[in-house]
A and B are shown apart, each in its own frame.
Chain A
Amino acid sequence: MGLRVKIEGSESINLPETSIMTVDFGADIPHDSNARSTDLGSTVLITGKILAAVDGEAADDTSKIARWSLVPAENSDCYRNVQIDVVNASQVVRQITVPNAFVIDYEEDFTDETGAGVFRLLIKQKKDKMVNLKFEGGFSGE
């Protein structure tokens, strides 16, 4: 599967399939509710590689994610549009659009045993804007 992530805000962040390793999508609903709860949220966990540029190519956009995670809540730029594409066999299996995503966790991990670092980005849709979240897929692309 090829996974692509596009983040649009004050700057554009593009991470292709060579970079993204996994995407975990989750709908957060209280487990202890007796009937359908209004308290609905959505969290997406994205993990990927932090690649070093070779042959004079431009560096990957992962450092922009690190800076996004540090944008204070007072700045409107902390909310950005995130689009995740899951592509397989010329089909877009999923296209998830989180239009008002904010970072709730960000981690970068580097060790001297590997040539690439790993990042872990956890984002959530602003809870009062849950209706704007788009969950599409099952159409052909590429």
Chain B
Amino acid sequence: MGFTLKVEGPSNIELGTISIIGVKFRTDIPHDSNARSTDMGSTVEITGKILTAVDGDPFDSTRQLGLWALVPAEKSDCYRKASIEVIAASQVVRKYTYPNAFVVDYKEQYGDTEGVGTFTLIIKQKKDKMAQVAVEGGYSI
């Protein structure tokens, strides 16, 4: 399976299949409710590699993810439009679109035994804008 991540904001972030390792999508609903709750959220966790550019290639845009994670809440560009695609066998299995995504967690990890770093990005849709979240999929590229 391959994944692509696109974040649109003041700087466009694009990460492709060579970079992303995994995607976890989750709908957050209180477990203790007796009937369907209005309190609903949506979270996506993306893990990927931080690759070093060789042969004069441009650097990957993972640094931009780190910068996005550090944007203070007072600035409007802490909310960005994120879309994630899951691709397998020439089919778009899923396409998640979060028009008002914000970062709730960002981690980078490096070790002296690996040639690449790894990042973990957890984003959430702004809770009052949940209706705008789109989950599509099941069509060919």
Contact = CB atoms under 8 A, between A and B. Distances in A.
Given A66-B135, A110-B22, A115 B1 contact: yes
B27 A106 contact: yes
Given A50-B93, A52-B91, A73-B40, A63 B137 contact: yes
B37 A73 contact: yes
Interface in B13-66: 17, 20-31, 33-38, 40, 42
Chain A's interface: helix, strand, loop or mixed, by majority?
Answer: mixed
Given A59-B137, A70-B40, A112-B21, A127 B1 contact: no
Contacts, number: 119
B3 interface: yes
A109 B24 contact: yes
Interface residues of B, number: 38
Nearest to A126: B35
A105 B89 contact: no
Contacts of A110: 1, 3, 22-24, 86, 93-94
Contacts of A122: 31
Contact of B89 (A50, A53, A73, A74): A53
B22 A112 contact: yes
B130 interface: yes
